[in-house]
Structure 1
C-alpha cells in the first residue's frame, strides 16, 4: 500500500472522494431501505410492535450518541484509520443483521451498525477536506451530496425489489461487497490525515465564525425536510392508500432533485461564497414547500411535481452551502469533529421536525373532527379523518415554510469570507512525509 514518491505521501483526491461517496451511499441506502424491509424483519423474528420500533431506533440512538466522540477520535487517531474501522464494522454488522433470527439480536446488531456509521461519517468529510484543499472543496461536497441523495432516493425502491425477490436479509447482505470495495479503495488509495495540534471540544468549535450559523442552517433544513417527508408518508399511505414502494416513487422528484441541487450548490458556493447560495437555496426551498399546499384528497401526481422539484433543488443548494460553511470554517485540527457536528445537526433537526410537524397535523386533525371522531394515524386516512387530514397537512406545510423562511433570513447574516479554509491554531498540518506504521500515510 505504498503510495509514496520520494518519501512523500501522494494525495489521491478522486479516489478519496470515491471511497467517501460509496460509504455515504452505503449508509443512505441502508437507512431508507429499512422502511420497506422493517415489517418483513419483524414478522420473521416474531417481534412485537415495540421491538420493531427498537430495531429501527437502536441504530439512530447509537449513531446520535457516538457521533461527537467519534469525530474527536478521528482527529486524534487518524481519519483514515477510523474511517476504515467504521466501514469494515458496518459491513460486518450488516452481515450479522442478515443472520439475526430474534428481535434481541436484530436490535443489538442494528445498534452496532449505528456505532460503525458514527465512526465512518465524521472521518469521511474530514478526509475530503484534507484531500481536496480549499480550491476544490465545494465541487467535492457537491458530488458527495448528490450521491448521498441518490442513495436515499433509491433506497425504498431498491429494497422493495430485493425484498420481493430474495427476502429482507438480502437488503443487508448487499452492504457487504460495497463495504469491501470501500476498504480496498481506502487501503490502497487514501492517505492518512490527523490533527497536527491539540483540538478543543464542541463548545469551542461552535464559537468558530461560520460553524455555529452553518450548524443552525443544517438543523433548520432537516427540520422541514424530515418533518414534511414524515407527514407526506402518512398522507400517501393512510389517506391515498399507497404501498411503501409507490410512496417512494411519489417522493422521487424531491429526493432526485436534491441530486441536481447539490452539485449546483457546490458550483455556486465556489463562485460566490456560501452567503448568497445559502439564502437563495432556503428561499427556493420555502417556495417549494409552500407549493405543497396544492395537495388534496385526490391530487394527481403531476400536479405536485413543480413544487417537489423546486423543494429538492432548493434543499440541495442550501445544504451544500451550510455544509461547506461548517467544514471549511473549522480549524484543521477539528475537521472530523466539525463533520460530526454537521451530522448531529442533521439528526436533531430531523427529529425535531418530525415531532413538531406531526404534532401540528394531529392538533389540526383533532380540531376538524367531531368530538367523538378518530384521531389516530390509521383513522386519519378514513372517513371524516380523511377530510380533516388535508387541513392538518396544510398547517404543517405552512409551519415548515415559515421556519425555512427564517433560515433564509439567518443565512443573510453569514459574513463574507467566513468560510475560508480555517488554519489550525496550533500551526499547519504535519508535512506529508512518512508512511505510518499501519500502512497509511501522514499528510
Structure 2
C-alpha cells in the first residue's frame, strides 16, 4: 500500500471518524488539566487533604505531562503515532480509574502523575495523526476543525465537572473518562491509519529523555510554585535553575546524539521556529486572559460563578463554526496574513476587556470583547497550528506537535506565574476587588502588547507561502483496513 493510497479526504466518512478520535482523545487530557479544580473542595473534605495535598493534585498532573510531552511526540514518530496514541489513551483511562478509586490524597496524587504520563503520550499524537493521515489539501481544514471542536470540549468540561460533583461525587469526574477512552480506542482501532517515520531509530535517546524531562519538569514546577511561594523562595529558584540547566544539557545531548529524540535541524526551518515563537508569545497572552478574566468578572464585576463561567462561551462557539474555514483560508492565501491579523484582533479585544470593572453589563461591556476575541483566535489558531506542523515533513509530525504543545504549555504556565506580579499584584490578593481591579487592567494591557508582538513576529518570520514538505516518508501500516485515496474520494463525492 502506497502512502498516497492511505491519505484521507476531509469529507470522507473515515476522515470524520479520525477527526472524532483525535478530538475526543486530546480533550481527555485538556479537560482534566482544568476540571479537577472544580472538585478540589470536595476532594479536600472527603479525603481530609490539606492545602499542599490539593496543590499537588493539580501540580502532579501538570508536572508529568509537561516533562514527558516531547518524549510522547518522539515515540509516535519512531514506533507509530496510532500505536502510541492508543497506548496513551488506555494509560490515561487506567490512571483515571485509579483516581476515581483513590482512598487517600497520596494515592490520588500518584494516580494524577500517572494520568499526566498518559496525557503526554496521547497529546502530541492527536495532531500528528491529522498531519500524517489527511491529504495535503485537507490538512489545514482538518486542523481547524480539530481546534474548534476541541474548544467545545474545553468549554463544556467545567460545566460537566461541576454537575458531576454536585449530582454525585468528585470521583465521577475521573471515572467518566473511562467510557470516553474506550470509545476513542474503538474508533482508532477501526478507522485511524498507522503512520511513523521509518528512518527514526528504535532505541531510546536516554540522555535526551532525562535532560528534557528535567528541563521541562523544573521549569513547570518552578512556574507553578511561583505564585504561592514567591519568586525568591529557594524551592522556586532551585527548580527554575534546574529547569534552565536541564534544557541547556538537553540541547548539548541532542547535538551530540547520532539519533536524537528532537533533531535540532528542525529548528533551522524558519517557518517552524517562527511559528513556535509566535505560539510562545500569544499563548502567554492567552494564559493571562483565561486565568484572570473569569476571576475579575466575579470579584470586581459581581458576576455569579455560573455567569462568569459561561462568559467566554461565545468565543468557543465562534471557533467551532469558523475554525475549519480559517484553516482553509490560511492554506489558500498563506499563513502570514491570518497569523498577523489574528493577534491584532485579539489585542483590540483585550483593550476592551481591560475596561471591564464594577457593575459591568454582560451585553454591553463583556459580550462585544468576547466576540471580537473569538474572531481573533479563530483567525490565528488554525493557521498557526498548521504552520507549526506543516513546515516540517511528515516524518517529524509527532515531534513537531510535541514541541509546539510544550511551547504553548510553558508559555501559559509562565503567564499565570509572572503576569500578576508584573501587573503590580505584590502582596495583594486576587480575591479583593480593590486590589484585583488594577492588576487585571494592567494584565490585559500587557497581554494586548504580547498579542501585538506576536503579530510583528508573524509578519517578520512566517513566509507568505509554506514550502510543501519533502515527499512523505511516512510509513503506513499495510495491515490497516483499506481506504480510498484522496483522489478517489473526491471523484466519488465522499
1:408 aligns with 2:455: yes
Q: Structure 1 residues 237, 40: closer, same or farther in 2, change over 3 A? A: farther
Give 4+ residue runs of structure 1 displaced > 6 Å after superposition: none
Equivalent residue runs for 1:36-47 within 5 Å: 36-47=38-49
Q: What is the alpha-carbon distance in structure 2 between the residues aligned to residue 45 and residue 440 of structure 1?
A: 51
Unmatched 5+ stretches in structure 1: 367-373
Q: CA deviation at 1:241?
A: 5.5
Q: Structure 1 residues 171, 288: closer, same or farther in 2, change over 3 A? A: same
1:294 aligns with 2:355: yes
2:269 alignment partner in structure 1: 208
Q: CA deviation at 1:89?
A: 1.0
Task: Report the secondary structure of 1:187's partner residue.
Answer: helix
Aligned residues of 2:342 and 2:380 also touching (Cα < 8 A): yes
Q: CA deviation at 1:412?
A: 0.7
Task: Report the secondary structure of 1:197's partner residue.
Answer: coil
1:429 aligns with 2:490: no
99-108 or 38-47, which moves further after superposition?
38-47
Q: CA deviation at 1:392?
A: 2.0
Aligned residues of 1:288 and 1:311 also touching (Cα < 8 A): yes
Q: CA deviation at 1:245?
A: 3.5
2:384 alignment partner in structure 1: 322
Unmatched 5+ stretches in structure 2: 9-13, 201-258, 486-494
Q: What is the alpha-carbon distance in structure 2 between the residues aligned to residue 238 and residue 110 of structure 1?
A: 30
- Please give the per-residue CA displacement for 1:239-288, whole angstroms capped at 9, x wherever unaligned: 34556444312232334433345224212212211111111111111111
1:353 alignment partner in structure 2: 415
| TM-score, length of structure 2 as denominator length | 0.79
1:135 alignment partner in structure 2: 137
Q: What is the alpha-carbon distance in structure 2 between the residues aligned to residue 397 and residue 429 of structure 1?
A: 43
2:83 alignment partner in structure 1: 81
Q: What is the alpha-carbon distance in structure 2 between the residues aligned to residue 274 and residue 293 of structure 1?
A: 29
Equivalent residue runs for 1:381-420 within 5 Å: 381=433, 386=434, 388-416=435-463, 418-420=465-467
1:304 aligns with 2:357: no
Q: How many residues are aligned here?
A: 417
Q: What is the alpha-carbon distance in structure 2 between the residues aligned to residue 205 and residue 72 of structure 1?
A: 13
Q: CA deviation at 1:337?
A: 0.2
Q: 1:90 aligns with which of 85, 89, 92?
A: 92
Q: 2:291 aligns with which of 194, 215, 230?
A: 230
Q: CA deviation at 1:36?
A: 1.2
Q: What is the alpha-carbon distance in structure 1 between the residues aligned to residue 263 and residue 309 of structure 2?
A: 36
Q: Structure 1 residues 245, 40: closer, same or farther in 2, change over 3 A? A: farther
Q: Structure 1 residues 242, 110: closer, same or farther in 2, change over 3 A? A: farther
Aligned residues of 1:44 and 1:101 also touching (Cα < 8 A): no
- Please give the per-residue CA displacement for 1:290-349, whole angstroms capped at 9, x wherever unaligned: 111221122122221111111122123212111111110112221100000111011011
Q: CA deviation at 1:186?
A: 0.5
Q: CA deviation at 1:10?
A: 8.0
Q: Structure 1 residues 56, 244: closer, same or farther in 2, change over 3 A? A: farther
RMSD: 2.4
2:400 alignment partner in structure 1: 338
1:164 aligns with 2:166: yes
Q: Structure 1 residues 440, 243: closer, same or farther in 2, change over 3 A? A: farther
Q: CA deviation at 1:122?
A: 1.0
1:369 alignment partner in structure 2: none
2:74 alignment partner in structure 1: 72
